[in-house]
Structure 1
Amino acid sequence: MVSLDVLGPGGPYRSKRQETIDGPSGDPVATLSLAPALYVTRAMKALHRAPELPVDARVAAFERAATAFATQPIAGLTPREYQHTVSSAAGIPITVVRNATDEIARTLEHIQHSVHHARPAAAVGSWRDPLTRTGRAVWTRRGEVFAVLAAGNHPAVHQGWLDALALGYRVAVRPSRREPFTPYRLVTALREAGFGDDRIVLLPSDHHAADEMLRLADLGMVYGGADVVRKYADDPRVLPQGPGRSKILLTAESDWEPVIDTMVASISGGGGAGCVNATGVLVEGDPAPVAAALAERLAALPSLPATDERAVLPVQPIGPARRWDRHLRQRAAGTKAWLGGDTIVDDLGDGSAVLRPAVHQLDSPFAGQLGAELPFPCVWVAPWDRAAGVRPLRDTLVLTAVTTDEDLIEDLVAEPTIANVYIGDHPTPWMAPGLPHDGYLAEFLMRTKTIVR
């Protein structure tokens, strides 16, 4: 059993209210302390009082944290033990956790590169820059304290808030109760690397305390479904991170068969539960051959416990797995099932089940199912034509467009609700340090102001 304390401004705190985290088979894996609302209030006030860490000290701290996170024992767990714990508790395939460890370490190592790319080219980073003597744009924070209500579907989501710390914000993270291990390890590594206890805190809590945490922050970022996006849509202080609804577009002049591996990786990579995983494939022409090919390839993926080195699919307790199965059947009513029509639940016999892939064919690019995003590899294949245009592709985090039509590409890039466009044979989960995910976070955290002295 792993014990995860609250990581407050005064150091670790073990509260009287604790929650047991069970693995998919029902075996207890860890206990998680929950911070009471009053503790959260005091912690947020301490963040506001904490001084900004100088830039050079931040850079050095990130470099030390990168090495520690990936290679050294932290909070009593080696990297291998941490990875096994995440896989055992959250049902995330062990290879996915291992890859995420490397991704997070790489982000820590290159964080200054990332925030530098986000800064306007004509702006400088400090009013002390000599260029301000004749007048210059200076990049400045919109606040001092940043709060994150994090997701637990994939360890790598915790790359998403690191820019705030790099830009001098003091940061409070409320972890998911499903997977608090990655933020616990990351926050501990950053504190030990030089940020200290009063500049970054981990505040596991109930919803009431989480609301208090967000209220007391200058700015915040919240992960969740469409309901979360609606809740915070009109709050300029909060950046909601909702469903990705990533897609693939195959146009008639391009051969789709050479990119079948890319499509399978887009749908199932990382366990298929990420916002960058493709959940829609739109085909100019007959979608049936594409659906059939995807179903054949995805059906070959093995059903294994998450800690097995060959595992590639997510594992959940049998009860929630069956609820997802029922939910899928309801959503898929009226569609043609190429895979997963009977069930997506593969019982492992120990109280847990693998969530297997599903492939369904739609009759229209405007079918409501095209926006459905589920926590396992699930793809909706639909017909598309030039008359439909960009409309079915809106509200997409990543769009892989397998096309040579430059006019169409122009329209896709210009569409405000498509965050990223990958042209050609590139999987939707592809990312690289220094490039924006859903825009640069710094676009939300920072502003420019003119300084002359």
Structure 2
Amino acid sequence: MAPEPIALDALGPAGPYRTRKRATIPDVTGAPFAELSIVPRLFVTRAMAALRAGSNLPVEQRLAAMARAAEIFRHGEVAGLSYDQYEYSVSRVSGVSRQAVRSAADEIHNAALKAHFATFQARPGGAVADWRDPLTRTGRAVWTRRGEVFAVHAAGNHPAPHALWLEALALGYRVAVRPSRREPFTPHRLILALRQAGFADDQVILLPTDHDGADEVLRAADLGIVYGGDTVVRKYANDTTVLAQGPGRSKTLITADTDWREHLDTIVDSISHHGGVKCINTTAVLVEGDPGPLAEAIAERLAAIPVLPPEHPEAVLPVQRTDSARTVSDYLLSQAKGSTAHLGGDGVLAELGDGSAALRPAVHQLDRWDSGQLDIELSFPCVWVAPWTPADGVAPLRHSLVLNAFTKDEALIDRLLDEPTVSNLYLGDHPTYWMEPGVPHDGFLGDFLMRSKTVIRD
């Protein structure tokens, strides 16, 4: 007999709320695993109004509560689930490997502990944090919030992005999260941990809702962040109140003055870490000279990754329902025409025999970087390897969330640093997935959340 689905309630301003309308959250085989309460637009409107009317914890209490929440989230029992049960659940519903879930949980834990440090790295050097600072007596910029209520349309491809909105909470925003149906366990657990640690129900809320309600979450907030593809980015491109987080298209460049053999570990790790599902995984490698030997070496390494169910302790590759995985595989084959397949040329589907399938790695070599395939980003270890020449310059490297450049050409490094569409530049053996609290992801979130205003007082 199948176990009862886990109930995930909405977390409104008056506490947990179980609705009549619920969405079934399947595991990777398609079997029901959880039921997520779906709130209507009217509930969203009232919840957001309550959030706006709420008060803030003083900063010292706020930060202490976040530290307590970090421990509860990572080690405690929340809503009847131990940490191990949470980790297993996320892996089974999202298809992300269990070791990736654990790493993301550590990242969230670390972000909650270091939220104050991380947020204040974005503060301008000429600004102070409080109007009471003695420097305001002679006139000084004070760093202040742009609003009171922050909305999050959460990503579902990986738990780690939930570490970011904790910065808004640390800065004194009240936060509403609309979870992804693909993986609602992480925000549900995190918000309950924050409430257990001392945040009030009207200071941080979870609003699972449909598309109409999702629009209301953003409309009723002062500022918001959304995750999605190119369509989402275009939708909010001209909205100064919404920060859109789109595809990463992270890349690696190897110039002729560098022997790629000495850095193969970093290159492959950047592609395959956490199963290649994050926006900071490398999806394109450009190399000065013949790209064939490097593509072959990458393929040989990636081919050794085992095919395992996501909850297996040694799993790496992401897992989906077989029909969904087949759609991804067929799409890749259709887009890879004209390339040379070193791995995955016959498809990437690897059935596990229970209705689920892993997505095996793919390595395709391109004759030229501008074939149109370099920007195709898929949520598994899939990489395009293409030639690059100094005459190509920065053009093939634009629109990269992270660019890892293996080069000794300082003039090129200057050009890459000046390129506005390259968000982060790593030089040498630093994988593209490297992130730490206090360094910007796609700019500092504080740049979006805060502003400086002049205060002078007697």
Other structure's SS at 2:99 match? helix
Other structure's SS at 1:370 match? coil
* Conservation of the 8 A alpha-carbon contact between 1:101 and 1:156: yes
Other structure's SS at 2:231 match? helix
Residue 165 (structure 1) aligns with: 169
* 1:189 and 2:205 aligned: no
Supply the AA of the counterpart residue of 1:441: L
Residue 265 (structure 1) aligns with: 269
1:104 to 104, 108, 117: 108
Structure 1: 4+ residue segments shifted above 6 A? none
Q: By how many angstroms is 1:145 displaced?
A: 0.6
Could you give the per-residue CA deviations for residues 326-352 of structure 1, whole angstroms, max 9, x where no partner exists?
110111111111110101000111100
Q: TM-score, normalised by structure 2?
A: 0.98
2:426 to 409, 422, 427: 422
1:71-82 aligned within 5 A: 71-82=75-86
Other structure's SS at 1:221 match? strand
* 1:293 and 2:261 aligned: no
Supply the AA of the counterpart residue of 1:100: A
The CA distance in 1 between the partners of 2:173 and 2:33, in whole Å, is 33
The CA distance in 1 between the partners of 2:384 and 2:17, in whole Å, is 46
Other structure's SS at 2:434 match? coil
1:18 to 22, 44, 52: 22
Supply the AA of the counterpart residue of 1:367: S
Other structure's SS at 2:181 match? coil
* Conservation of the 8 A alpha-carbon contact between 2:178 and 2:209: yes
Residue 35 (structure 1) aligns with: 39
Could you give the per-residue CA deviations for residues 358-386 of structure 1, whole angstroms, max 9, x where no partner exists?
11111112221111111111000000011
Q: By how many angstroms is 1:433 displaced?
A: 1.5
Residue 388 (structure 1) aligns with: 392
The CA distance in 2 between the partners of 1:106 and 1:166, in whole Å, is 13
Q: By how many angstroms is 1:52 displaced?
A: 2.2
Could you give the per-residue CA deviations for residues 32-77 of structure 1, whole angstroms, max 9, x where no partner exists?
0011100000011111101122111111111101111111111111
Q: By how many angstroms is 1:320 displaced?
A: 0.4
The CA distance in 2 between the partners of 1:176 and 1:450, in whole Å, is 40
Q: Which runs of 5+ in 1 are unaligned?
A: none
Residue 358 (structure 1) aligns with: 362
* 1:140 and 2:144 aligned: yes
Supply the AA of the counterpart residue of 2:269: A
The CA distance in 2 between the partners of 1:353 and 1:205, in whole Å, is 29
* Conservation of the 8 A alpha-carbon contact between 2:111 and 2:164: no
Other structure's SS at 1:373 match? coil
The CA distance in 1 between the partners of 2:30 and 2:396, in whole Å, is 41
Q: By how many angstroms is 1:129 displaced?
A: 1.5
* Conservation of the 8 A alpha-carbon contact between 2:399 and 2:421: yes
Other structure's SS at 2:143 match? strand
1:303 to 278, 302, 307: 307
Q: By how many angstroms is 1:396 displaced?
A: 0.4
* Conservation of the 8 A alpha-carbon contact between 2:277 and 2:378: yes
The CA distance in 1 between the partners of 2:410 and 2:55, in whole Å, is 50
The CA distance in 1 between the partners of 2:215 and 2:132, in whole Å, is 37
The CA distance in 2 between the partners of 1:191 and 1:123, in whole Å, is 32
2:328 to 305, 324, 329: 324
* Conservation of the 8 A alpha-carbon contact between 2:310 and 2:317: yes
Other structure's SS at 2:195 match? helix
The CA distance in 1 between the partners of 2:136 and 2:177, in whole Å, is 35
2:286 to 274, 277, 282: 282
The CA distance in 2 between the partners of 1:319 and 1:208, in whole Å, is 28
Other structure's SS at 2:88 match? helix
Residue 370 (structure 1) aligns with: 374
The CA distance in 2 between the partners of 1:442 and 1:53, in whole Å, is 19
The CA distance in 2 between the partners of 1:192 and 1:440, in whole Å, is 28
* Conservation of the 8 A alpha-carbon contact between 1:246 and 1:280: yes
Other structure's SS at 1:211 match? helix
1:203 to 180, 200, 207: 207
The CA distance in 1 between the partners of 2:363 and 2:198, in whole Å, is 48
Q: TM-score, normalised by structure 1?
A: 0.99
Other structure's SS at 1:118 match? coil
* Cα RMSD, aligned residues only: 0.8
The CA distance in 2 between the partners of 1:169 and 1:367, in whole Å, is 45
Other structure's SS at 1:328 match? helix
Aligned positions, number:
453
Q: By how many angstroms is 1:429 displaced?
A: 0.3
